[in-house]
Chain A
Amino acid sequence: MKEFRQVGRSVTKTDAQGLALGRAKFTDDLLEGDELFCRILESPHAHAEILSFDASQAEALPGVVAVFHAGNVPRILYTSAGQGNPEPSPYDMVLFDNRVRFVGDRVALVVAETEDIAREACAKIQVEYKELPANFRAERARHPDTPKLHGDEAFMPIEELTYRPEENVASEVLLTIGDPDKAFEESDFVVEHTYSVHYASHAALEPHTAHARLDPQGRLVIHTSTQVPFHARRITAKVLDIPVGKIRVVKPRVGGGFGGKQEVLLEPLVGLATWRTKRPCRLTLSRKEVFTSARTRHPMRVRLKTGFLKDGTIKAMDMENLMTSGAYGPHAMTVLTVSAWKCLPLYNKVEHLRFTGHTVYTNTPVGGAYRGYGATQSHFATNQQLDIVARTCGVDLLELAKSLHIKEGETSPVFEALGEGKGGVTQILNSCKLSECIDRGAQAIGWYEKRDKKLREGDWVRGVGMAICMQGTGLPKIDLGSATMKMNEDGSFNLLVGATDIGTGSDTILAQIAAEVLGIDSEDIIVTSSDTDVTPFDVGAYASSTTYVSGGAVKRCAEAVRQQIAQAAGEILDVPQDELIFGECGEIRHPGKGKTVTFAQVAQYTLYGGTLRQIGATESFTGEVSPPPFTAQFADISVDCRTGRIKVHHLVTAIDCGQAINPTLAEGQVEGAVLNALGYALYEEYRFDEKGRVTNASFWDYKVPGPEDTPKITTILVDSYEKTGPYGAKSVSEVPMNGPGPAIANALFDAAGVRIFHLPLTPEKVLGALTKEKRGTPS
C-alpha cells in the first residue's frame, strides 16, 4: 500500500457543506427572474409526417414572443451526443423536422412571458399529421417491409463507421478472432442463450434544465445542467450557425447525470430562443418529459454462445448483440462497441471470438449514455453464462473465474480491434486485482456457507450469485483533459479545470491530486470548473475519464507549477533548485544550508518583489491506454417460492479501481451504482401501449429504490496501483453498475433452480419460471 499525504484521504467534498445548507447553486437557482419561458410541443404520434403547421393562433396570444419550428429554423444535421468532434454518432437529427419519429419527438418550441401562456400557446398550434406505420421492435427493424426512420440526408460524420439507414441500421460492429466455428466443434459443451435488458431512465433528481441570456457584448451565455460543457458549446454553435467564440457555457452544481446529461438537448433550444428574441430564456423539462423525451438506457438483446471443455476452459465465444437505438442514434456505435470492448477482454484466454453487433432504429424513446454504457448489457449475459459453465462442469465458480480472467501483464486482441471512433489501442494490463476481489467479496458475502445450500426459511429459499466485471478508464487518444493553475500571494492556488463535477466530487479529488504534488492540503487549492470562457478544455464527465484523464492533466500542471516554485525558491535562497526539498504545508528547505522559504514568500517574490512573473501553468493529458477497473460483485438473496418476490439481503462489491484518490467518495460511487443496478434488475421498467406511448412516465409507476428498499451494501476497495494513472488511480464510477443484475440472477438460480434471461426480474416473471420448473417444463 503506497502512502500519500493527500491522495487516499477521505477529505470532505469541497461543496458538501454548501449543498447540505442548500446554498450551493444549481442551474435553476441562478435564474434572475426576467427569463422567458420555453415549452416544447411534442409529437403525439410514434411516426408521422407533418403535412402542415400553423402557429398563427399561438403567436396571436398576448405574451407569446416566438414560435420556432421547421419552417423558421435552419436545417442543420447534427447529433445530440456529447462526444468529441467529429462525433462517432450519426448526424440524423435537426432541431425541428417535418417528420416525427417517436411519441415525444420535438415539433416546435414556444417562447412566452409566462409558463401558463407557453402551455396555452402549445395547445393552439395546429399541426396536421399523416401517421406512418411505426415499428417498436428491434427484431423487426431490418426487415425490408419495416418503415425506415431516416432517409437520404442522415449520415455518419466518420466515414469508416458503418451506417446503413436504408436498413434502419444505425451501427454495425463486427469482429472475428480465430476460428470460432471450428472451436465450437472441438468443445465438449456448447451452450447458447438469448438474454435481454431493457429501457431505463437515469432518474437523476434534477430534471434537465438550461437558461440563456446575451451578455453586454452580445455573446450567448448558457447555464446548463450538463456533463459536457465544451461539447454543448460546440454543438450549439454548429446547430445555430454561430461561432463557438460567441458562446459561453457554464455548469453550476448538477443534480445527478449518470450519462443522461452527456447530451446536448436543451442548450440549442434556449440558445436559439435567446439569440433570436434577444431576451433571456429558460427551459426545464418536466419529469414526464425527462422520461419520454430525454435519453435512456439502450435496450439490448444478447445472444451468447459459449463453447467449453469439461474442466471449464472456454474455447470460443460468439456474442451477437442487437441494440435498440430508438428514433435517433446518439451513441449508437459507441455503446454497441463498448458492449464488446469493455466486456470480452475479461475473457482474454478465449482464443476464438466472434462479435456481431447491430444498433437499429425503432419508433421509441432515444437511447443515450447511461452508466455502464453497453458493458452493463453484455455483462448480464456473460456472467450468467459463466455460472452455467461452472455448473455444467461441476467446477467451483470462484476458482474458474480466478483462472480464466485477464491478468496483469496480459492483453486481449479486442483492445486493439475495437475503438470508439478511432482505432483501438494495444494495451497490456499493469494492474488487475480481480482474483483478490473475488476472494474478499466471497468472504464478505459468506459464499461457501450459502452456495448450493438452498437454505430455507418458510416459503423463502436462499441463494448467492457472483459476477465479474470490467469497464474502461477514459478513451485513449480521444479524451482530452486539461488544467490551469496559478499561485496566489498566500501560497494558495487557483486550479481551473474543464472537468465536470456532477456530484461525483471531481472538484475535490482533482484538488487532492494537485495538493499531493505540491505537498500542501487540498483545502489550499481553489477549484473553478466547467466554464468554457475560463477553464481550459475537457471533454467532460463520461467514459469514466475524470480521475485518470483530467487528473492526469492536473498532475502535470501541478508538477510544472512546482518546477517554477522551485526555481523561484532557488533564486530567493541562492541555492541550486534541485537541492531543495518540498516539505509539508508549503515549506521549501535546503537541508544542507538549513534555509527555508514558504510558498507565500515565493509568491510575494514573484508577484511583487524579485523576478516578476505569475507562477502558473496549463497542461493537458490524454491516455495512451484505458486501464480497466475490475469488480467482483456478489448477491445474497432469498426468493419467496409462492410469490416470486426476491428479497436482496446483501450486495457486496470488491473493486480494483487502482489507488482510490478519496476512499469515501469512491465508496459513494460504488454504492450509488449498486443500488441503481438493483433497481434496474428488479423494479425499473418502461411500459408502452400499442401506439408506442410510454404509460408510466412518472415516479408513481416507474419505481426507483427508496431507503426502505436498500439491502446491506458492502464495498471493499482492494489495494491496487495503476502506474499510468495519477498516483495509481483508475476509474470507479461505472464498473459497479455491471455486476448486481447478473449476480442477483445467478443467486436466483442458486436458490430456486430457475434462470431468467430477461430483465427486470419482476415477481410475476420469477413466479412464472418457478411454476414452469415445478411442472417440469423448461423455462
Chain B
Amino acid sequence: MRGSFIVNGVVREWEFPEDMRLLDLLRREGYAEVKCGCREGMCGSCCVLLEEKIVNSCQILAATVMERDIRTVEALSEGEEPHPLITAFAEAGAVQCGFCTPGMVLAAYCLLKENPDPSEEEIKRALDGNYCRCTGYVKIIDAVQRGGRKMREKEVRE
C-alpha cells in the first residue's frame, strides 16, 4: 500500500506492506536513530513522538499513522545546534552506550514541555517506559534536570 507520512516536519510518500510496523518503516527509510531493542513495547529504544506524545514505534502499524505528525530525536535540534536537552545528556555523563538515548531524550522532552521543573519522582514516571542497562539511571535523571534548566534559560533569553 501507499501512504503519506509527516516525519520531522517533512512529508514523505512511501510504499510499504500492510502489516509493517512504524519502527521498521522508519528504519527502512533511513531514520536509524529509531532503534530496535525488543519489539515488544517494553524497552523504549524505538520511541518516537506521535503528535507530540511519546509512543513505541514497534507497537504501531504504519498504516494507522499516515498523515500524522511523527518526530524522531532528529526533530529536536534546529540546524547545527543540538537541542539543550541533548547537550545536557552528553555533559551529564548520561550517555554510555547510547542505544537507549534517543528514546530517553524524547521521553524527557515530552515531560519538560508539560512540566519544566519536574521532581525526581516525576522524571522517573515520565521515563518509566525507557530501559537503560548501562547507567543505573542516575545520570539520566540528572541530565533531565539539567536539560530542564537549560531549556528554561533558553526560553528566558528568547
Contacts and interface: CB of A to CB of B under 8 A. Distances in A.
- Do A and B pair up? The answer is yes
B40 interface: yes
A698 B128 CA distance: 17
Interface in A7-35: 10, 12-13, 15-26, 28-29, 33
Contacts of B124: 707-708, 710
B109 to A, nearest CB: 12
Nearest to A23: B33
A503 B38 CA distance: 19
Contacts of B22: none
Contacts of B3: none
Contacts of A23: 33
Contact of B134 (A503, A698, A708): A503
A504 B96 contact: yes
A140 interface: no
Nearest to A290: B38
Contact of B96 (A29, A505, A676): A505
B93 A207 contact: no
B134 A256 contact: yes
B136 A674 contact: yes
B30 to A, nearest CB: 10
Nearest to B34: A22
Contacts of B35: 26, 205-206, 255
B96 A205 contact: no
| Chain A interface helix/strand/loop/mixed | loop
Contacts of A170: none
Interface string B15-55: 00000000000011000111111111011010000000000
A16 B136 contact: no
Contacts of A284: 36
Contacts of B138: 667-668, 671, 710, 713
A544 B43 CA distance: 27
Contact of A668 (B27, B28, B127, B135): B135
B90 A12 contact: yes
Interface in A702-741: 704, 706-708, 710, 713
A253 B133 contact: no
Nearest to B134: A672
Interface in A244-288: 253-256, 258, 284, 286-287
Interface residues of A, number: 55
A255 B135 CA distance: 12
Given A26-B35, A502-B97, A707-B124, A17 B82 contact: yes
B13 interface: no
Given A22-B33, A668-B96, A713 B136 contact: yes
A708 B122 CA distance: 10
Given A21-B73, A22-B72, A672 B131 contact: no
Given A205-B131, A287-B38, A699-B40, A20 B99 contact: no
A203 interface: yes
A746 B98 CA distance: 34
A292 to B, nearest CB: 14
Contacts of B101: 19-20, 22
B154 interface: no
Contact of B136 (A13, A258, A672): A672
A667 B38 CA distance: 28
Nearest to A255: B99
Interface string A659-684: 00000110110011111100000000
A668 B93 contact: yes
Contacts of B82: 17, 20-21
A17 B136 contact: no
B90 A17 contact: yes
B89 A16 contact: yes
A744 to B, nearest CB: 15
Contacts of A673: 136
A254 B97 contact: yes
A699 B134 contact: no
A664 B93 contact: yes
A576 to B, nearest CB: 44
Interface residues of B, number: 53
A20 B147 CA distance: 13
Contacts of B36: 28, 207, 284
A16 B135 contact: no
Nearest to A19: B98
| Chain B interface helix/strand/loop/mixed | loop
A255 B98 contact: yes
Interface string B128-144: 11111111111111000
B131 A204 contact: no
B7 interface: no
Interface string B54-72: 0000000000000000001
Given A16-B90, A287-B40, A25 B98 contact: no
A202 interface: yes
B87 interface: yes
Given A207-B37, A664-B93, A22 B133 contact: no
A287 B37 contact: yes
Contacts, number: 175
B112 interface: no
B102 interface: yes
A707 B141 contact: yes
B39 A206 contact: no
Given A22-B74, A671-B138, A708-B125, A205 B90 contact: no
Interface string A687-709: 00000000000111000101110
Given A19-B98, A258-B133, A710-B124, A25 B32 contact: yes
A29 B138 CA distance: 28
B132 to A, nearest CB: 7
B82 to A, nearest CB: 6
Nearest to A287: B38
B125 to A, nearest CB: 7
Contacts of B28: 33
Taking each of B74, B89, B136, which has the highest tally of chain A beta carbons within 10 Å of its own beta carbon?
B136
B37 A206 contact: yes
Contacts of A700: 40, 42
A15 B32 contact: no
B151 interface: no
B39 A699 contact: no
Nearest to B121: A708
B145 to A, nearest CB: 13
Nearest to A699: B42
A18 B100 CA distance: 13
B99 A205 contact: yes
Contacts of A667: 93, 138-139
B97 A699 contact: no
Contacts of A205: 35, 37, 43, 45, 97, 99-100, 131-133
Given A26-B32, A205-B35, A671-B138, 12 more contacts: A20-B87, A20-B95, A20-B101, A26-B35, A255-B45, A255-B98, A287-B40, A674-B136, A704-B131, A706-B131, A707-B124, A713-B136
27 contacts: A10-B93, A12-B93, A16-B95, A17-B90, A19-B97, A21-B73, A21-B77, A21-B86, A22-B32, A22-B33, A28-B36, A204-B133, A205-B97, A205-B100, A205-B133, A255-B97, A256-B134, A287-B39, A664-B93, A668-B96, A671-B135, A671-B137, A676-B133, A700-B40, A706-B130, A707-B140, A710-B141
- 6 tightest Cβ-Cβ pairs between the two chains A and B: A22-B33, A503-B97, A19-B98, A255-B99, A675-B136, A671-B136
Interface of A: 10, 12-13, 15-26, 28-29, 33, 202-207, 253-256, 258, 284, 286-287, 502-505, 664-665, 667-668, 671-676, 698-700, 704, 706-708, 710, 713
